[in-house]
């Protein structure tokens, strides 16, 4: 199992995103990939982005919203004003039920779900993003190929 703690506003996470997508495709059916929210406090919109993705997930659109966040990161990342309206626009473009989306964003349980991932990361010693675990072992990434190397080693065991 591959678990990635990520922040949708993190530029390194954005750079690793296509690598993870490629690996998910390549190891489909062999390896389970899981995403955990880890919005860093220094990123103004990372919490809003995580709530938007989690709310989309409640309507079965996790993948689509997750991809939209990384594909548009350069347009909204590093801003100092709320991008919640932009994220709501993404939900509309994806065809989500907007009454359900708005209720999900406003529901404290949605934020609690994001916070649950964050606290789980803290408990595991996560202090930066992306932080990736393969079969419970934290990777120390020096290059993108380290992820696939770790996956191959885990599959060989």
| pLDDT in the model for residue 144 | 87
Average pLDDT of span 98-116: 98
Q: How far is CA 11 from CA 47, 64, 70, in A?
A: 15, 19, 9
What was the pLDDT predicted at 50? 98
| Cis omega (within 30 of 0) for bond into 70 | no
pLDDT at 157: 87
Cβ atoms of 98 and 105 closer than 8 Å: no
Share of the chain above pLDDT 70, in %: 100
Q: What tens digit of pLDDT does each residue of 20-76 get? A: 999 999 999 999 999 999 999 999 999 999 999 999 999 999 999 999 999 999 999
Percent of the chain with pLDDT over 90: 96
CATH classification of 2-156, choosing from 3.30.565.10, 3.40.30.10, 3.30.300.30, 2.40.50.100? 3.40.30.10
How far from 91 is each of 56, 62, 69, CA to CA, in Å? 7, 11, 11
What ranges do the domains of the chain cover? 2-156
Q: Per residue in 7-29, pLDDT tens?
A: 999 999 999 999 999 999 999 99
Mean pLDDT score, 81-86: 96
Can you read off the two tokens belonging to residue 138? Answer: 């934290």
pLDDT band for position 141 (cuts 50, 70, 90): confident
Mean of pLDDT over the chain: 96
């Amino acid at each position: 199992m591959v678990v990635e703690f990520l922040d949708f506003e993190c530029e390194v996470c954005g750079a690793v995103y296509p690598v993870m997508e490629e690996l998910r495709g390549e190891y489909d059916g062999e390896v389970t990939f899981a995403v955990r929210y880890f919005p860093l406090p220094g990123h103004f919109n990372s919490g809003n982005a995580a709530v938007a993705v989690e709310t989309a997930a409640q309507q079965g659109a996790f993948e689509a919203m997750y991809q939209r966040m990384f594909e548009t990161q350069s347009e909204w990342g590093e801003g100092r004003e709320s991008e919640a309206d932009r994220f709501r626009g993404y939900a509309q473009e994806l065809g989500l039920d907007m009454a359900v989306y708005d209720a999900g964003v406003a529901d404290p349980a949605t934020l609690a779900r994001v916070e649950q991932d964050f606290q789980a990361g803290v408990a595991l010693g996560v202090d930066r993003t992306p932080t990736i675990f393969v079969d419970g072992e934290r990777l120390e990434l020096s290059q993108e190929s380290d992820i696939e190397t770790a996956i191959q080693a885990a599959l060989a065991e």
